[in-house]
A and B are shown apart, each in its own frame.
Chain A
């Protein structure tokens, strides 16, 4: 099946610094990528939808200036958490849709655990 990678898998950073998380579709082209946030023992909350070559669409309550999303190519989307604070500590998961695949298929990355100290 299609593979989505995320890098890094874990990151610890100091409060006030920025962190970039990469999401790559390894063997398919992804016109749409989704970024989720998951707190321990809770559901995935959609943060934003990014389409290649256009601005991301953010969900209500998600600060677009804090969570910068760039979808520069059909295989790469990045999420940058700017001026991170401890409350940004979470599990971030990306997923991607294959532009040529079955319409409903959505492939998930393995997630990135961010800890802000």
Chain B
């Protein structure tokens, strides 16, 4: 079974508008972390935001915020005031604490295109 599910293969947004990228996860661990990464066409993975399973508040980093709904096992990324440079692939990832090591798992990604 997929541990990370990103149901939106592609998303389009108008410049300056907000966009939400969906991510649901599956784990039986109590302790885990959720991440979002941006991958532009150049290929490098850029860390955007992190949410720990015990964090009570939603994580925010500048224009990025993570809408963490633990009971629903969802960790959606919200990008406010989209910019043309936000066009990229976005990956949701989870790290579970399994047997003493952190094993990262990535979703299939969402391609975001920001229109001028």
Are A and B genuine complex partners? yes
Q: Which residues of A contact B (CB under 8 A)?
A: 32, 34, 36, 41-46, 49, 57, 91, 93, 95, 97, 104-111, 113
| Bound Cα distance A42, B89 (Å) | 10
In the complex where A34-B104, A43-B106, A46-B103 touch, is A104 in contact with B52 (Cβ < 8 A)? Answer: yes
Q: Which residues of B contact A (CB under 8 A)?
A: 33, 35, 37, 42-47, 50, 52, 91, 95, 101-109, 111
Closest A-chain residue to B111, C-beta based? A41
| Bound Cα distance A49, B101 (Å) | 10
Q: Which residues of the partner chain A approach B33 to less than 8 Å between Cβ atoms?
A: 104
Q: Which residues of the partner chain B approach A109 to less than 8 Å between Cβ atoms?
A: 44
In the complex where A42-B108, A49-B101, A104-B33 touch, is A110 in contact with B95 (Cβ < 8 A)? Answer: no
| Bound Cα distance A36, B107 (Å) | 13
| Bound Cα distance A17, B46 (Å) | 32
What are 22 residue pairs bridging A and B, where the CB atoms are less than 8 Å apart in the complex?
A: A32-B101, A41-B109, A43-B106, A43-B108, A44-B106, A46-B103, A46-B104, A46-B105, A49-B101, A95-B45, A104-B50, A104-B95, A104-B102, A106-B35, A106-B47, A107-B47, A108-B37, A108-B46, A109-B44, A110-B42, A110-B44, A113-B43
